[in-house]
Chain A
Amino acid sequence: MIEVSINDESKTCSVDTTIKTLLESCGFASDQIAVAVNAEFVPRSNYTSRRLNTGDQVEVLVPVQGG
């Protein structure tokens, strides 16, 4: 098992967890979010292939109002 954080909340996952499987397990709709891992942008096309490691900090952002 590995331990990652998603929006600053800890989550324990299996070692083969990808961004796609993490998002699905957390209930995020992948067409309405954008992702960064360890403050680096991850393109949508990499969600399936990008595996996570222990200690990774995943940011999942959604559209909100802004000025």
Chain B
Amino acid sequence: MVDLVTFYDQSFASRFLIGSALYPSPQIMAAAVKASGANIITLSLRRQSPEKQGGKSYWEFIQELGCTLLPNTAGCHSAKEAVTLAKMSRDLFHSDWIKLEVIGDAYNLQPDPFGLLEAAAELIQDGFKVFPYCTDDLVVCQKLLDVGCEVLMPWGSPIGTGKGLINPYALQTIRERLTDVTLVIDAGIGLPSHACQAMELGYDAVLLNTAVAEARDQANMAQAFKHAIAAGRSAYLAGAVTERQTAKPSTPTLGMPFWHQQ
């Protein structure tokens, strides 16, 4: 069965979006991305002096992977900063995709819902295809849809914490209320089981970086996530049993030996 995930007008086989940061070397990053099977990779823009441009850069390694690029606005703390950085990304990468991050609190890198909405509305008006990194607030998600987002990326937990899905109820509610939008869990995933849980909830994809990049064996961890995401997706499509409070035997009780009705 062909089971593609769609982001705006493009469909992909892999439901694993992977970040390119924090790896010990670009070679290890490239090996992990290949092992992940991901079709989409995130990257960013930063200052760099020309003197440091010698040698093969991360950017060249990323290009050689042949993945679709999803540039981010990481580090932006206002809508204006994020909009400017998004426009710079489009100019350089020739792509209207942008992973929109507007951070509201430096302690837990929590998205600023107000700045996010403002930036998303402006960018969509300007032709961008916005992938907003947001909290698990249903109303914020609805407002982002209202301004034209066709993909939402609520956090599992704060970036880099590895805590997994700290509010499964909120995430499940978003899935149940917003049935037609492409939903991606972005941030906070630490273990393959967290990614599997997200997919079991009916999320369409998972975006993660730290859990692979800071693993002891990055390529093996990337492959573990690949399998976990596929398993969670299969489980969601297969339909899980309803949880019950009391035990129910699975072996037939009819014809049981040594049993005598009192």
Enumerate chain A interface residues (CB-CB to B < 8 A): 7, 26-29, 32-36, 39-41, 43-44, 59-67
Contact = CB atoms under 8 A, between A and B. Distances in A.
A41 B26 CA distance: 29
Contact of B47 (A27, A39, A60): A60
Contacts of A67: 19-22, 42, 44, 72, 74, 159, 209-210
11 contacts: A26-B50, A32-B59, A34-B45, A34-B88, A36-B88, A61-B88, A62-B45, A62-B46, A63-B58, A64-B45, A66-B44
Contact of B42 (A41, A61, A62, A66): A66
A63 B88 contact: no
A32 B57 CA distance: 11
Contacts of B89: 34
B43 A63 contact: yes
B100 to A, nearest CB: 13
A17 B85 CA distance: 24
B92 A66 contact: no
B92 A64 contact: no
A66 B71 contact: yes
Interface in B194-251: 209-210
A36 B82 CA distance: 12
Interface in B39-69: 42-51, 53, 57-59, 62
B8 interface: no
A63 B84 contact: no
B18 to A, nearest CB: 9
Contacts, number: 91
Interface of B: 19-23, 26, 29, 42-51, 53, 57-59, 62, 71-72, 74, 80-81, 84-85, 87-89, 91-93, 159, 209-210
A63 B45 contact: yes
Contact of A65 (B20, B53, B91): B20
Contact of B92 (A39, A63, A65): A63
A59 B46 CA distance: 9
Contact of A64 (B23, B44, B50, B88): B44
Contacts of A60: 47
A27 B89 CA distance: 20
Given A34-B92, A41-B84, A65 B47 contact: no
